[in-house]
Amino acid sequence: MRGAGIVAGCVGVALLVGGCDPLMERRYITEGAGVDLYTADRSSQIELLNQYIGFVCTQIQTGPTCDSNWTTFVQAGMNGTDLRCDGFLTWLDARRRDREPIIAEISAINTAVHAIMTVTGSNPRSLDIVTAAFGLASASYANWNSRLLISANQSTVQEVVYTSQGQFRDKIKNYPVPDQPTAIYLLRNYLRLCMQRGAPVEAQTNLVVANTTPRTYVVQAAVDSSYTTLRALLYPNGKSPDPELVAYVKTLVGANVAVGPIVTTNPRFATLRQRISACIISHKAGHDCPKNSLSQFIQ
């Protein structure tokens, strides 16, 4: 089937973004955190913890066991956690900035593929399959990103994290830290303040956004960029539509159909906008789509 390679590629993208560790998933589903104090991976975890303790103790120059100076150990450990947290927040901001351009790129490729398949004579069923495949890729990527704190402004997330960290430091500054278990307990709690799904970050960010964001309702362009693509084709000078292209579009959707309502951000016409764009590109290449071939999408 023509376009099968494209479909397979789109489905592959969807599967890749949904990948996971099946053994760990199964364990958490059946056991949760578990009821046994000891599990098979504890030995390796303890070894990693010992390496971490030695690393921090070497930094504060008190020997590999910190000479029982656990208060200084906690301070050094929190400084190291700050570096990790800054790196995570920077990565999170990059993912937030990447989301819309990547989804728009998938849509642009979809439009180009439609144009190529239209020129080469693909039937409507093949075009429907390609549209569904690209839609799956876009939805899978969007759903994967919905797991992250990318909807809130970066400065808001940073404010919540840095405020929480400052409050934690103030709270424990006079705490006695008599031993290693107490030190590790404090550092784990400090690290949780920056976790992607940590309650302080997510819950407090939602609270800040709810308390500071005014109720403003904005009409947004379709996330699949079908609106911007079609408008750029129909309005080459950015001000008024090309009469010849408008007349051509009417031959596709029906002479009595108004083109204006289609060239909006209404998601109902997203697929129709993609097909019109593909036909316009094909028209400019000298290959017209059949008359009334898009009228079915007006129903």
- Residue 76 near residue 82 (C-beta atoms within 8 A): no
The pLDDT value recorded for residue 207 is 43
141-171: pLDDT as tens digits? 766 666 555 556 677 778 888 888 899 999 9
The pLDDT value recorded for residue 217 is 33
The pLDDT value recorded for residue 1 is 47
The domain boundary, picked from 168, 189, 212, lies at 212
The pLDDT value recorded for residue 17 is 45
Average pLDDT over residues 227-234: 84
Computed over every residue of the chain, the mean pLDDT equals: 75
Q: How many domains does the chain have?
A: 2
Cα distance between residue 175 and residue 168, in whole Å: 11
The pLDDT value recorded for residue 15 is 45
User: Is 195 in the same domain as 268?
Assistant: no
pTM over 0.75: no
User: Is 105 in the same domain as 208?
Assistant: yes
Cα distance between residue 289 and residue 295, in whole Å: 12
According to DSSP, residue 28 is labeled H
What is the torsion angle, in degrees rounded to the nearest 10, for the CA atoms of residue 280, residue 282, residue 286 and residue 289?
A: -80
| 256 pLDDT more than 70 | yes
- Residue 221 near residue 264 (C-beta atoms within 8 A): no
User: Is 246 in the same domain as 108?
Assistant: no
Of 134 and 9, more confident: 134
Q: Which of the four pLDDT bands, split at 50, 70 and 90, describes residue 2?
A: very low
Give the highest mean pLDDT range of 117-131, 146-160, 180-194. Answer: 180-194
Nearest to 130 by CA among 11, 272, 284, 268: 11
User: Is 149 in the same domain as 240?
Assistant: no
The answer to the question of residue 29 being in a domain is no
* Domain that residue 246 falls in: 226-298
> What share of the chain in percent tops pLDDT 90?
10
The count of other CB atoms within 10 Å of the CB of residue 51 is 10
Of 174 and 220, more confident: 174
The pLDDT value recorded for residue 277 is 86
The count of other CB atoms within 10 Å of the CB of residue 221 is 13
The pLDDT value recorded for residue 223 is 47
Q: What are phi and psi of 227, to 5 degrees?
A: -65, -50
The answer to the question of residue 32 being in a domain is no
Q: Which of the four pLDDT bands, split at 50, 70 and 90, describes residue 18?
A: very low
Q: Which of the four pLDDT bands, split at 50, 70 and 90, describes residue 79?
A: very high
